[in-house]
Structure 1
Amino acid sequence: LQALAARGWQPDYLTVRRRNDLQPPQAGDALVVLGAARLGTTRLIDNFEV
């Protein structure tokens, strides 16, 4: 997150959750990474499965 902030991004959050219900993960769970950040006046939201 510090690397993003150094390049002008304003990170809101970055978290890893269980893919099927977005609860905190446990070993062996299918995961999704969720994040949001601002760049100027635009807020970008993304997620990807791992």
Structure 2
Amino acid sequence: MASPPGVRHLVTGVVPGEGSPLGFYLRYGFTDTGTMFDHERVLRPPVHPASTP
């Protein structure tokens, strides 16, 4: 699967607090970037090398 032109990073955001999925994301290898965007903590997913056929 190719990335759309100009895409350099993939991130997601979670709102901290009760019921937050933050723990779920961290258990699956997401990294907290230490930044906030619109009241959400910004997380970066784990990156796996592309497989070659």
Q: Say whether the fold is shared (TM-score over 0.5).
A: no
* TM-score for both structures, normalised by structure 1: 0.30
* TM-score for both structures, normalised by structure 2: 0.29
| Structure with greater strand share of residues | 1
